[in-house]
Amino acid sequence: MNISAVSQTDKHECDGKLYEPFLCKVESVKDLTASEKLFRFVRTDGKPFGQKPGQFMQVSITGIGEAPISVSSSPTRGDYLEMGVRKTGTLTNAMHNLKSGDIIGMRGSFGTCFDTLAMKGRDLLLISGGCGLAPMRALIQYVEDCREDFGNVTILYGAKSPADILYKDELTQWQNSQKVQCQVTVDNIPEGTCWDANVGLITKLIPPLEIDTAKTTAVIVGPPIMYKFVILELHSKGLIDEDIVVSLERYMKCGVGKCGHCTIDNLYCCIDGPVFTLSQVASLKGAI
Ligand X SMILES: Cc1cc2nc3c(=O)[nH]c(=O)nc-3n(C[C@H](O)[C@H](O)[C@H](O)COP(=O)(O)OP(=O)(O)OC[C@H]3O[C@@H](n4cnc5c(N)ncnc54)[C@H](O)[C@@H]3O)c2cc1C
Least distance (Å) from ligand X to the CB of residue 194? 27
CA neighbor of 245 nearest in space, from 223, 270, 283, 276 = 276
What's the closest the beta carbon of residue 263 comes to ligand FES, in angstroms?
Answer: 7
261 binds ligand FES (CB under 6 A): yes
Q: Does 255 bind ligand FES (CB under 6 A)?
A: yes
Residues in region 194-253 near ligand FES by CB under 6 A: 252-253
| CB nearer ligand FES, residue 254 or residue 281 | 254
**Pairing of the two strands 153-159 and 123-129:** parallel
Residue 101 to residues 25, 28, 36, 90: CA-CA distances in angstroms? 6, 8, 19, 21
Strand order in the sheet with 244-247: 198-199, 181-186, 153-159, 123-129, 216-221, 244-247, 275-277
Q: How many residues bind ligand FES (CB under 6 A)?
A: 12
Q: Interface with ligand FES by CB under 6 A: which range of 35-43, 178-186, 192-200, 256-264?
A: 256-264
Contacts with ligand X by CB under 6 A lie at 56, 65, 67-70, 83-86, 88-92, 131, 134, 249-252, 274
> Which residue number places its CB atom closest to ligand X?
89
Q: State yes or no: residue 87 binds ligand FES (CB under 6 A).
A: no
SS (H, E, C) 45-100: CCCCCCCCCCCEEEEEECCCEEEEEECCCCHHHCCCEEEEEECCCHHHHHHCCCCC
What residue 65 binds from ligand X, ligand FES, none (CB within 5 to 8 A, per partner kind)?
Answer: ligand X
